[in-house]
């Protein structure tokens, strides 16, 4: 790992889905040892950005380098070296957790003896040890998400990309993931993640990037963002994305519709 080289370099990244331009000339550099929260409304371009970084999307314009690799020409190397947890991913549910983690570990070129050693321990950490040999088809959403998180980090990557990583987790599991991410950061790892949980983003992120309608509209620490607006990250986010008045008006409209039913 070359710590002098940025972990993520994006230059003038644009992407269209048909006639709709979902990313509009993004420019972004992320260095080692940061926890970066990437937030925005639904449809803002968050997941498209993350999928581009991991080499799952082609057809974009601009330059994207991850861990020093050009994503266009070295997407396989990026996929092997980066940890990625997608939103609403489908597991191979006919497998058990141990079987699935063996499959994922081999994709990352991990030796079988290492996979066999760490998989049960990581399952125990997430309170899934007693389910290690059960088919995942019977798992809850939260349990499946825990498996995805383990799979995304088990090869000890220098860069971890997470798309809504806390979705479906109970409060204790959320606290556990926050603690794990903090310790990984202290080891020099970089975490680049999207989330709608503004209180979590506010507390754990060294840097917060706000994207709206395909463009980055704010980038800095929480304290930086507070210079132009006061309050929690949730209220700052609403002000930045222009939704504050609409939210209040729509809430009043909803209540008025309910009142009409009386």
Task: Give CA angle at 128 (126, 132), nearest 5°.
Answer: 135
Query: Has residue 2 got a pLDDT over 60?
Result: no
pLDDT digits (tens, 9 = 90+) for 6-43: 999 999 999 998 889 999 999 999 999 999 999 988 88
Q: Is residue 135 domain-resident? A: yes
Q: How is residue 69 written in tokens?
A: 């690799």
The confidence score (pLDDT) of residue 146 equals 96
Q: Is residue 157 domain-resident? A: yes
| Distances in whole angstroms, Cα of residue 215 to Cα of each of 26, 49, 103 | 6, 11, 37
Q: Is residue 3 domain-resident? A: no
Mean pLDDT, the chain, rounded, equals 91
Q: Please state the domain count of the chain.
A: 1
Q: Provide the residue range defining the domain that includes 147.
A: 8-260
The confidence score (pLDDT) of residue 252 equals 83
Residue of 1, 25, 5, 3 whose CA lies nearest to 15: 25
- Give dist(CA 257, CA 228) in Å, integer: 36
Query: Has residue 157 got a pLDDT over 60?
Result: yes
The CATH number linked to 132 is 3.40.50.300
pTM above 0.85, yes or no: yes
Query: Has residue 216 got a pLDDT over 90?
Result: yes
Q: Is residue 1 domain-resident? A: no
Query: Has residue 1 got a pLDDT over 60?
Result: no
Q: Is residue 235 domain-resident? A: yes
Q: Is residue 2 domain-resident? A: no
């Amino acid at each position: 790992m070359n710590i002098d080289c940025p972990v993520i370099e994006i230059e003038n990244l644009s992407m269209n889905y048909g006639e709709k331009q979902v990313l509009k000339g993004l420019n972004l550099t992320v260095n080692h040892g940061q926890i970066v929260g990437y937030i925005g409304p639904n449809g803002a371009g968050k997941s498209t950005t993350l999928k581009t970084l991991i080499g799952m999307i082609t057809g974009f314009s601009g330059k994207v380098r991850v861990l020093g690799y050009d994503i266009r020409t070295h997407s396989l190397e990026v996929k092997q070296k980066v940890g990625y947890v997608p939103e609403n991913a489908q597991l191979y549910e006919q497998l058990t957790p141990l079987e699935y983690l063996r499959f994922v570990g081999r994709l990352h070129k991990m030796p079988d003896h290492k996979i066999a050693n760490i998989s049960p321990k990581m399952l125990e950490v997430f309170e899934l040890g007693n389910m290690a040999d059960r088919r995942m088809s019977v798992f809850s959403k939260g349990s499946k998400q825990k498996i995805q998180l383990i799979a995304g980090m088990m090869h000890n990557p220098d860069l971890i990309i997470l798309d809504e990583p806390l979705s479906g987790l109970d409060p204790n599991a959320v606290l556990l993931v926050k603690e794990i991410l903090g310790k990984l950061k202290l080891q020099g790892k970089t975490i680049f993640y999207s989330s709608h949980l503004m209180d979590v983003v506010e507390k754990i992120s060294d840097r917060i990037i706000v994207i709206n309608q395909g463009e980055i509209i704010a980038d800095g620490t929480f304290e930086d963002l507070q210079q132009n607006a006061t309050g929690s990250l949730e209220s700052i986010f609403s002000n930045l994305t222009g939704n504050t008045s609409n939210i209040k008006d729509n809430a009043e409209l909803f209540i008025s519709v309910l009142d009409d039913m009386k």
